[in-house]
Amino acid sequence: MGAIDKLRKGYHNILRPEILSLIPKTATAILDLGCGSGELGKALRARQKCIVDGIELNKAAADIARQNLNVVYQDNLNRFDPKFLKTKYDVIVFGDILEHLVFPWSVLKNFSSVLRDNGVVVASVPNVAHPWIAHQLLKGLFRYQTAGILDITHLRFFTKTTICQLFYRAGLKIKSIDPYPSQENPRQWLVTAVKPIVEHTSPVVTVLMLTHNAWDYTAQAINSIKTHTDRPYKLLVIDNGSTDGTVQNLRQDTSIFHVENTCNLGFATGFNVGLEMIDTPFFVICNSDIVVTKNWLSVMLDQIKSDDNLMVLGPRSNYVSGPQLVRDVPYNNQKTLEAFAEQWFNNPGQPISYFHRIVFFCTLFKRQVLETIGMLDERFDYGNFDDDDYCLRVKQKGYSLAYSNNVFIHHYGSITFKENKLDYAQIMAVNKKRFMDKWNIKQEPGL
């Protein structure tokens, strides 16, 4: 027995009833990855009519598991090819195993290929953001242990946000993610995830939306995107610690992806969580208080593609600063909004207007901009001046920005600030000073 095995003696034969409770009793085929000695599978086979297969690295544990499970592979998940499996599974279990893998996102994605379309992934993942860990870090300590969150064999460490990112990269939709054993003592996150209902294949655009409460406006924004987006896209909602039911509603919608942050990270940091995962040629940054209109994305895509140097393109709107603003709009309901937007779509004038500053309430970007400019500057808390800063950085690299004169998008404006009773004027003043200090601007910037 090696040194690590001695440290972990008894680690492989834990039942984990909290994981057992997440596995549907209707499941007939279950795959337990890192199955240990097969105690979970033994309990499942006693509880319901099913087959349980497992993969386990430790030979001694795998030998015991063969007495408890149907089929056991003694192998390394980092190299195991799911193509060798002969079965499609209703449930795939990752019980405290993802953190032990070299590339957990790849393993998670690879094994989802043997998950049935209506199947579920069940996982438990240690929470490195546990208050005790944070307290130790403030003291400059990160001490490995024989088991637990700082298990000496862990290769990866996760928080609630990065778990959501992990599952998104694997193409899986999170249905639940809950602290265990309690909110006050969140040693682990218990996760269930499914394959999303994919409305568009081979997406060319990722639409990023940031939310913080105000669900009624978010629901309207999401519905408008689903109704009026006619190019292949995927919608990724980043939630900034909502407490009004927004998260529960996002979990229920299996046609979209979402990430759950544990607190309000603000505009720049919140969007950066999504920008880290962009894998499409184009992406949109949009607020949750917008209503998009017919042809919005197809027109903007065609226009941004017309100029290789054009990296950032915004629409016209009723609530926006600068020349993107359309004053005194005549509409007062969805029908008249659509009619008004149609007039802009048929506008015979100049299709786009180049300008040095675009407001990021609903803005299209080429992914190339992330590679050359980077992400949003997180010094600008909550919002305001993060877009001014980014536009200056784009111009500094010699690229162009513009707004479309054929796309009109309704913007309610500052709803997150209003609904959450944030001091808009104070946040604006603080971020303005940070912006001016960063760029050594002595006079107040104009629009």
pLDDT tens digits along 335-349: 999 999 999 999 999
- Asked if the model's pLDDT at residue 158 lies above 70, the reply is yes
- Asked if the model's pLDDT at residue 416 lies above 70, the reply is no
Which conformational region is residue 184 in: left (phi greater than 0), alpha (psi within -120 to 50 degrees), or beta? alpha
Task: Say if residue 329 is exposed, middle or buried (CB neighbours under 10 Å; 0-12, 13-18, 19+).
Answer: middle
* Beta strand residue intervals within 12-152, DSSP E: 29-33, 51-56, 71-74, 89-95, 115-126
Q: Over pLDDT 90: what percentage of the chain?
A: 85
Average pLDDT of span 13-28:
94
Average pLDDT of span 397-426:
82
Average pLDDT of span 234-255:
97
- Asked if the model's pLDDT at residue 420 lies above 70, the reply is no
Could you tell me the two tokens for 265?
Answer: 């990270």
Q: Does domain 3-194 have CATH number 3.40.50.150?
A: yes
Task: Say if residue 109 is exposed, middle or buried (CB neighbours under 10 Å; 0-12, 13-18, 19+).
Answer: middle
Query: Residue 15's pLDDT is what?
Result: 85
Could you tell me the two tokens for 118?
Answer: 């209506």
Per-residue pLDDT of 23-41, as tens digits, reads: 999 999 999 999 999 999 9
Which superfamily does 205-438 belong to?
Spore Coat Polysaccharide Biosynthesis Protein SpsA; Chain A (3.90.550.10)
Query: Residue 198's pLDDT is what?
Result: 79
- Asked if the model's pLDDT at residue 351 lies above 60, the reply is yes
Contact 143, 136 (CB under 8 A): yes
Q: What is the pTM of this model?
A: 0.92
| Cα–Cα dist 434/323, whole Å | 24
The residues, ordered by sequence, that sit 6+ positions from 332 with a Cβ below 8 Å of its Cβ are none
Contact 60, 115 (CB under 8 A): no
Whether omega before 181 lies within 30 degrees of 0, making that bond cis, reads yes
pLDDT band at 424 (very low <50, low <70, confident <90, very high): low
- pLDDT, the chain, mean: 93
Query: Residue 422's pLDDT is what?
Result: 59
Query: Residue 201's pLDDT is what?
Result: 79
φ, ψ at 241 (rounded to 5°): 70, 40
pLDDT band at 437 (very low <50, low <70, confident <90, very high): confident
| Cα–Cα dist 105/121, whole Å | 13
- Asked if the model's pLDDT at residue 102 lies above 90, the reply is yes
Average pLDDT of span 274-299:
97
| Cα–Cα dist 210/264, whole Å | 10
Radius of gyration of the chain (CA): 25
DSSP secondary structure, 311-364, as one string? EEEEEEESS-SGGGB--S----SHHHHHHHHHHHHT--S-SEEE-S---TTEEE
The owner of tokens 């140097």 is: 309
- Asked if the model's pLDDT at residue 373 lies above 50, the reply is yes
Could you tell me the two tokens for 342?
Answer: 């149609």
The 3-state DSSP class for residue 35 equals coil
- Asked if the model's pLDDT at residue 407 lies above 50, the reply is yes
- Provide the β-strand partners of residue 176: 192
| Cα–Cα dist 141/223, whole Å | 47
Domain with CATH 3.90.550.10 in the chain: 205-438
Contact 208, 283 (CB under 8 A): yes
User: Which of 195-199, 338-342, 390-394 shows the lowest per-residue confidence on average (mean pLDDT)?
Assistant: 195-199
φ, ψ at 431 (rounded to 5°): -70, -30
Domain with CATH 3.40.50.150 in the chain: 3-194
φ, ψ at 57 (rounded to 5°): -75, -40
Contact 105, 131 (CB under 8 A): no
The residues, ordered by sequence, that sit 6+ positions from 319 with a Cβ below 8 Å of its Cβ are 325, 361, 410, 411, 412, 413
Contact 149, 135 (CB under 8 A): no
pLDDT band at 6 (very low <50, low <70, confident <90, very high): very low
The 3-state DSSP class for residue 163 equals helix
pLDDT band at 167 (very low <50, low <70, confident <90, very high): very high
Contact 40, 32 (CB under 8 A): yes
pLDDT band at 286 (very low <50, low <70, confident <90, very high): very high
| Cα–Cα dist 82/54, whole Å | 12
CA dihedral 434, 284, 346, 330 (to 10 degrees): -60
pLDDT band at 4 (very low <50, low <70, confident <90, very high): very low
Q: Where are the alpha helices (DSSP H) in 326-447?
A: 334-345, 368-372, 386-396, 415-419, 424-438
Pick 119 or 422 by higher pLDDT.
119
φ, ψ at 309 (rounded to 5°): -85, -10
Nearest residue to 220 (alpha-carbon basis) of 76, 412, 26 = 412
pLDDT band at 8 (very low <50, low <70, confident <90, very high): very low
| Cα–Cα dist 69/231, whole Å | 46
φ, ψ at 95 (rounded to 5°): -90, 100
Average pLDDT of span 96-120:
97
Pick 219 or 430 by higher pLDDT.
219
Query: Residue 203's pLDDT is what?
Result: 96
- Asked if the model's pLDDT at residue 390 lies above 70, the reply is yes
